[in-house]
C-alpha cells in the first residue's frame, strides 16, 4: 500500500481518500452531486428554503395530512394530558422482542388488519426495513425472486441480501414475467413475484389483476409494495390493490406511514403464519429499536383519518391528470398516470437548470438524475398534494411551456 503525504494538511493521505475525492469531483462535473438542503418552515403546501417561500412539489404528503395544523394541535393537546399513560413517550428504549412492544402496536396492527380484511398486520420502522427484511427472511437458496426492473432501491437491496436466486423482468412486461414463470416451473421450492403498485419515478401503475392471475396460475407468491399507493387509491385509501379489487389476492401487501399517512414507519398485511415467521426471522425487525409510542399513536390517528378522505383523493388525481394533459399538449415527455408527474428531460444539466428556473418562479421541484433513474432520462418529478389548487397547476404548466426546446 502506497501512502502519500498531504503537505497542505500535514497528514498522510490514504489511497481510498484520493479515490473518494476523485469520485466526488466526477459527480460534480456530471451535475450529479447531492447536498442536504437547509429546509426551513413548512406552511401548508408551501416550504421555506434559504429564506424563499416555495410551492412544494417534492413532498410525499399526498393528502396534506402533515400540514393539517388543527389535527396536529389537537393531537399535541391530548398528549399534554396523557403523559403518565405512556402513550406519548418519545422513546421505546428497546426492540419489540424486549420491552419496546407498546400496546399501541397491537391497536395499530389490529386496525390495519381489520380494514384490509386480513388475518394479521405487522408494523415496521420504515419501508426500507420492510423491503430489506421480508425477502431475506422468506427467500432461501431453493427459491426464486422475480422482480420488476424499476422496483425501488430498497426492494433491489432486499433481493440482493436474500439467499434466493433472482431475476429482474423488463418493467411491466408481464409476458416476459410469464415466460420466466413457465421456465421456472418445478425447479424451485417457491417463486416470489415482487412489484410496486405505483412506480415512484415514472408514476405509472402495475397491472395487479394480471399479476394476481399469474401468481395463481403458477403457484407463485405475490408481494406488492404500496408505498405510493396507500392513501391515494381505493375508496378507503387502502391502495391500488383496493382500487383494482385484488386485496385478497396479495400474499403480503406493504404500505408506508411516511408518505400519504404523514407519519413514520411502514406496515405489512399478511396471514398469521407469515407474521409469526417474520417476528422470529426478520432481522430488520428483531434487531431494531421499536418505534416510540408517540409515533404509533399518531400513525393510528392518521390512518383512521385518511379512510374518509375520498374528496381529497379525487381532487389529487384530477390535478395530476390536468397537469399531465397540459404538459403533454405542450410537447413534454410525461409518462405515467398517477399523482406522481415526471417530466423526462434527458440530460442531467437540463434537469438541474429547469429545477433552478422553477425555483426562481416560486416552485420547489427537484431534479432526479442517475443512478435513481436510467441514464439519459433525468427528469423533474412533481409529487402532487391534495391541498394544491387548480390555479397552482395552471400556473406551473404555463411557466413551463416556453421552456420546451
The set of catalytic residues is 200, 228, 259
**Omega before 371 cis (within 30°)?**
yes
Instruction: Locate 178 and state its grid cell.
Output: 410469464
Task: State the Cα–Cα distance between residues 263 and 256, nearest whole angstrom.
Answer: 9
Task: State the Cα–Cα distance between residues 405 and 357, nearest whole angstrom.
Answer: 15
Q: Are strands 378-383 and 367-368 parallel, antiparallel or unpaired?
A: antiparallel
Task: State the Cα–Cα distance between residues 95 and 289, nearest whole angstrom.
Answer: 4
Asked if residues 75 and 69 have their Cβ atoms less than 8 Å apart, the reply is no
Q: Are strands 221-225 and 252-256 parallel, antiparallel or unpaired?
A: parallel
228 Cβ contact partners less than 8 Å away, ≥ 6 residues apart: 60, 196, 197, 198, 199, 200, 259, 338, 339, 340
3-state secondary structure (DSSP) of residue 67: helix
Query: Is the dihedral angle over the CA atoms 271, 275, 281, 287 positive or is it negative?
Result: positive
Residue whose entry in the numeric block shows the C-alpha cell 498531504: 6
Instruction: Locate 295 and state its grid cell.
Output: 409515533
Instruction: Locate 251 and state its grid cell.
Output: 400474499
Instruction: Locate 94 and state its grid cell.
Output: 428497546
Task: State the Cα–Cα distance between residues 135 and 151, nearest whole angstrom.
Answer: 14
Asked if residues 131 and 152 have their Cβ atoms less than 8 Å apart, the reply is yes
Task: State the Cα–Cα distance between residues 335 and 342, nearest whole angstrom.
Answer: 7
221 bridge partner residues: 192
b/e for 38-62, b at 16 or more Cβ within 10 A?
Answer: eeeeeeebebbeeeeebbbbbbbbb
C-beta neighbour count of 281 within 10 angstroms? 14
Listed residue (140, 124, 148, 133) closest to 198, CA to CA: 148
Task: State the Cα–Cα distance between residues 56 and 156, nearest whole angstrom.
Answer: 29
Amino acid at each position: 500500500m502506497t501512502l502519500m503525504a498531504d503537505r497542505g494538511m500535514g497528514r498522510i493521505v490514504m489511497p481510498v481518500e484520493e479515490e473518494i475525492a476523485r469520485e466526488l469531483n466526477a459527480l460534480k462535473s456530471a451535475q450529479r452531486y447531492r447536498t442536504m438542503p437547509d429546509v426551513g418552515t413548512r406552511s401548508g403546501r408551501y416550504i421555506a428554503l434559504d429564506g424563499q417561500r416555495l410551492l412544494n412539489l417534492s413532498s410525499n404528503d399526498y393528502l396534506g395530512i402533515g400540514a393539517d395544523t388543527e389535527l396536529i394541535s389537537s393531537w399535541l393537546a391530548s398528549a399534554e394530558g396523557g403523559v403518565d399513560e405512556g402513550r406519548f413517550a418519545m422513546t421505546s428504549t428497546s426492540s419489540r422482542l424486549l420491552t419496546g412492544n407498546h400496546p399501541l402496536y397491537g391497536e395499530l396492527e389490529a386496525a390495519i388488519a381489520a380494514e384490509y380484511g386480513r388475518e394479521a398486520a405487522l408494523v415496521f420502522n420504515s419501508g426500507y426495513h420492510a423491503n430489506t427484511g421480508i425477502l431475506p427472511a422468506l427467500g432461501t437458496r431453493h427459491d426464486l425472486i422475480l422482480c420488476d426492473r424499476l422496483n425501488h432501491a430498497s426492494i433491489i437491496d432486499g433481493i440482493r441480501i436474500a439467499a434466493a436466486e433472482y431475476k429482474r423482468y423488463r418493467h411491466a412486461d408481464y409476458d416476459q414475467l410469464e415466460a420466466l414463470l413457465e421456465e421456472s416451473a418445478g425447479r424451485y421450492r417457491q417463486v416470489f413475484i415482487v412489484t410496486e403498485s405505483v412506480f415512484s419515478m415514472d408514476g405509472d401503475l402495475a397491472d395487479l389483476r394480471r399479476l394476481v392471475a399469474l401468481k395463481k396460475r403458477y403457484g407463485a407468491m405475490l408481494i406488492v409494495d404500496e408505498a405510493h399507493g396507500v392513501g391515494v387509491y381505493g375508496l378507503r385509501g387502502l391502495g391500488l390493490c383496493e382500487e383494482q379489487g385484488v386485496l385478497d389476492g396479495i400474499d403480503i401487501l406493504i404500505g408506508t406511514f411516511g408518505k400519504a399517512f404523514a407519519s413514520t414507519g411502514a406496515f405489512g398485511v399478511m396471514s398469521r403464519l407469515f407474521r409469526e415467521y417474520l417476528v422470529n426471522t426478520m432481522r430488520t425487525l428483531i434487531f431494531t429499536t421499536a418505534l416510540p409510542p408517540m409515533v404509533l399513536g399518531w400513525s393510528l390517528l392518521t390512518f383512521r383519518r385518511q379512510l374518509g378522505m375520498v374528496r381529497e383523493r379525487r381532487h389529487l388525481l384530477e390535478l395530476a391528470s390536468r397537469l399531465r394533459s397540459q404538459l403533454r399538449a405542450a410537447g413534454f415527455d410525461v409518462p405515467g398516470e398517477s399523482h406522481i408527474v415526471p417530466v423526462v428531460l434527458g440530460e442531467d444539466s437540463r434537469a438541474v437548470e429547469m429545477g433552478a428556473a422553477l425555483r426562481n418562479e416560486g416552485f420547489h421541484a427537484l431534479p432526479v438524475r442517475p443512478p435513481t433513474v436510467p441514464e439519459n432520462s433525468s427528469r423533474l418529478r412533481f409529487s402532487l398534494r391534495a391541498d394544491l389548487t387548480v390555479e397552482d397547476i395552471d400556473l406551473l404548466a404555463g411557466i413551463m411551456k416556453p421552456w420546451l426546446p
